[in-house]
């Protein structure tokens, strides 16, 4: 659910108020996106729509936690967040210390959560002790 909100809120903001998103994300005093000019309404709206699409899949996985859906959603989240983190770490020189820390936290957190989801949703390939004993008795 948290991953869905993390994609959905900025996604809706970018889709429905692209100029305001560009000028004020994550907060007007920080305005991280303005450090990468020029403003492009089409690109910002597309980012918003794609983020909402990912948020929808993440929300479905949270509401209906079927193992394959949860894992697919987590991998989908990683497919966005890992390249996003790589890009931003290569461009941190544009930002002050507070912004760098904020960006790293906001970008590493969803990667850590997705990784944790993948680890916790792993299917054990070893049969449990009870199943092994039962099959020996037969």
Q: What are the CA-CA distances from residue 99 to residues 26, 37, 113, 123 (Å)? A: 10, 17, 21, 39
* Per-residue pLDDT tens digits for 20-53: 999 999 999 999 999 999 999 999 999 999 999 9
Distance, in Å, from the CA atom of 138 to the CA atom of 134, rounded to the nearest integer, reads: 7
129: confidence class by pLDDT, cuts 50, 70, 90: low
Torsion of CA 125, 128, 134, 137, to 10 degrees: 80
7: confidence class by pLDDT, cuts 50, 70, 90: very high
Q: Is the pLDDT assigned to residue 120 strictly greater than 60?
A: yes
Say what the pLDDT of residue 78 is.
Answer: 98
* Per-residue pLDDT tens digits for 71-93: 999 999 999 999 999 999 999 99
């Amino acid at each position: 659910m948290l991953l869905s909100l993390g994609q959905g809120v900025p996604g809706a903001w970018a889709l429905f108020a692209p100029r305001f998103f560009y000028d004020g994300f994550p907060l007007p005093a920080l305005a991280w996106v303005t450090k990468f000019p020029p403003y492009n309404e089409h690109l910002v709206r597309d980012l918003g729509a794609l983020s909402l699409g990912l948020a929808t899949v993440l929300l479905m996985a949270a509401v209906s936690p079927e193992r394959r859906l949860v894992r697919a959603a987590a991998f989908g989240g990683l497919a966005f967040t890992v390249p996003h983190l790589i890009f931003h770490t290569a461009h941190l020189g544009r930002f002050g210390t507070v912004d760098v820390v904020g960006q790293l936290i906001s970008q590493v957190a969803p990667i850590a959560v997705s990784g944790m989801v993948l680890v916790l949703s792993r299917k054990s390939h070893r049969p449990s002790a009870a199943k092994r004993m039962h099959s020996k008795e037969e």
